[in-house]
Amino acid sequence: MRNNKGRKKIGKIGVKCGLAMISCLLFAVPLFACRKTPAEPNNPELLLGFSQIGSESAWRVGNTTDIEEKAEEYGISLMFEDANQKQENQIAAIRRFIAYKVDVIAFSPIVEEGWDNVLTEAKNAGIPVILVDRDVNTSEEGLTACLIGADFYSEGVKAGEYLIRKADALGLEQVNIVEIAGTDNSTPMRQRQAGFKDAIAGDERMNILESIDGDFLKSRGAECMRTFLEKYGDEIDVVYSHNDEMTLGALPEIEKAGLKPGEDIIVISIDGGQDAIDVLKSGKINCVVECTPKLGKEVMETAIKLKNGEEVDAIIHPEEQVFSDEQDLTNLAPRGY
Ligand code: GYE
């Protein structure tokens, strides 16, 4: 009985609200029709929830800008959430996307592990998930539709191959390397490390002294470099850093120790943002392996296909190059990130 009464009441309130809303709408629509509220989806056709890692690097900021611009270009409504470098924030964001019933979810997983539950929830809700930039390691197959991101292993190989060429050119007999690694357990960290190691494995001159987690941050890059310099001093021949931010943090530390980056120590970086390219041109960085943050176009096109129930490629890697002191870079176009 109580339930029935309750329901009736709600019913009445519902009707009243309905009438009030209709009259409100009649007057309000002409006023609001031409305004866009940023939090509201602007295209009912496709709503994309995107969870970004944070803003730890120029790469990440460039990636966010590109995703936002391309969503606008393709007329896709974007629900954007910044996780501030925390996995739990990404999980909460994905749950909000599910509750909001977005059409497609895209996200850049900060680390590879720990996604089973939330991805199963997305699958059960029938919402396809695009991995952007980084990969996940799940116990079950098929929780995500595809991965759009760089081939980090091949970036590591390119860095190693450059080093071999450089060591040949300088006639080095022993090459002591320190590695400033990206966020522990993240895909770029794992694969940039593996690709580099494999590329130099057959060369007996190469010796990795130590690798430290620099979390892709400039401040951590500086800290790692200080630690390396205190421990190994001028034994260090090479710094291999997994991103530009950490490299830019490490350079002043090398100089403070009275050494010349680019001459006394070979510096190899990854990403290829404008700041690092400018430093490469000045001679303090020797090589920058490109990793493009411009993944927005592929993300939007894939989201549209998924919404329409079409097949998508399981992996999409962008094309990437290497910039180094072996080339004339004077006419290199602005990088845009
Ligand atoms: O290299 C780094 C960023 O996942 C490829 O994350 C990305 C990396 C990029 O913060 O700068």
For the chain, what are the domain ranges?
20-150+293-319, 152-291
- Best residue for ligand 1 mutational test, from 84, 183, 291 (most atoms within 8 Å of Cβ): 291
**Residue 287 burial (10 A CB sphere; 0-12, 13-18, 19+):** buried
* Residue 57 in contact with ligand 1 by CB distance below 6 A: yes
Q: Which amino acid is at 131?
A: L
* Residue 183 in contact with ligand 1 by CB distance below 6 A: no
What pLDDT is recorded for position 252? 98
**Comparing 20-150+293-319 with 152-291, is the CATH topology the same?**
yes
> pLDDT tens digits, residue range 204-247?
999 999 999 999 999 999 999 999 999 999 999 999 999 999 99
* Residue 187 in contact with ligand 1 by CB distance below 6 A: no
Of 38-52, 62-76, 81-95, least confident by mean pLDDT is 38-52
* Residue 60 in contact with ligand 1 by CB distance below 6 A: yes
CA nearest neighbour of 47 among 69, 68, 78, 71: 78
Q: Which atom of ligand 1 is nearest to the CA of 133?
A: 4
C-alpha R_g of the chain: 25
pLDDT band for position 327 (50/70/90)? very high
Question: Alpha carbon 320 to chain centroid distance?
Answer: 15
Q: Are 259 and 230 in contact (CB under 8 A)?
A: no
Q: How far is the CA of 23 from the centre of ligand 1 (A)?
A: 51
Cα(211)–Cα(170) distance, integer angstroms: 24
> pLDDT tens digits, residue range 264-314?
999 999 999 999 999 999 999 999 999 999 999 999 999 999 999 999 999
Over range 170-190, report the average pLDDT. Answer: 98
Cα(83)–Cα(101) distance, integer angstroms: 20
Q: How far is the CA of 196 from the centre of ligand 1 (A)?
A: 16
* Residue 269 in contact with ligand 1 by CB distance below 6 A: no
More confident residue, 203 or 12: 203
Nearest CA to ligand 1 atom 10: 57
Arithmetic mean of pLDDT over the chain: 90
> pLDDT tens digits, residue range 111-157?
999 999 999 999 999 999 999 999 999 999 999 999 999 999 999 99
What pLDDT is recorded for position 44? 60
* Residue 271 in contact with ligand 1 by CB distance below 6 A: yes
Of 19-28, 161-170, 321-330, least confident by mean pLDDT is 19-28
What pLDDT is recorded for position 8? 31
Over range 57-77, report the average pLDDT. Answer: 98
* Residue 135 in contact with ligand 1 by CB distance below 6 A: no
What pLDDT is recorded for position 5? 31
Q: Which atom of ligand 1 is nearest to the CA of 245?
A: 11
Q: How many residues does the chain have?
A: 337
Query: CATH number of the domain at 152-291, please?
Result: 3.40.50.2300
CATH of 20-150+293-319, one of 3.30.460.10, 3.40.1180.10, 3.40.50.11710, 3.40.50.2300: 3.40.50.2300
Q: Are 182 and 215 in contact (CB under 8 A)?
A: yes
Q: Are 228 and 212 in contact (CB under 8 A)?
A: yes
Q: How far is the CA of 127 from the centre of ligand 1 (A)?
A: 26
